[in-house]
Structure 1
Amino acid sequence: MALFAVVYAYPAGSEAPRDTHRPAHRAYLGELADRGHLLVSGPLSNPAGEGGLLVLRADSA
């Protein structure tokens, strides 16, 4: 299996929808981690805005 990094930025004004969906998002990431697909995940903060990083193990992108 290959490793893939997913880097993403949150659009302006997306705080409320992210808060709504965060519990399901974290549960799904937990399932991926339990199956050995998600190696690392977490928030990113930089001058251009906030976002996130996922490092995944998978057969293809």
Structure 2
Amino acid sequence: MTSQTAFAKIDLLQPAPTQPLGYYDYFGKLLSPQEASQLVVNKREFDGAKTGQEVVQASL
């Protein structure tokens, strides 16, 4: 048998990184609760979705 050189430079079984409690991971970007909330609001506006307040007003 011949010996082969390993080319992997990282340990594939290393633990996943941790994130602070209450923060959110958005595709690799760490968001505070306020940033995550703003992201959701902006996404709803972009999609044309109604906010909770608009739904309540429409039902009155």
Q: Tell me the TM-score normalised to structure 2 length.
A: 0.31
| Bigger strand fraction | 1
| Bigger helix fraction | 2
Greater relative contact order, per chain length (Cα 8 Å cut-off, separation 6+): 1
Q: Tell me the TM-score normalised to structure 1 length.
A: 0.30
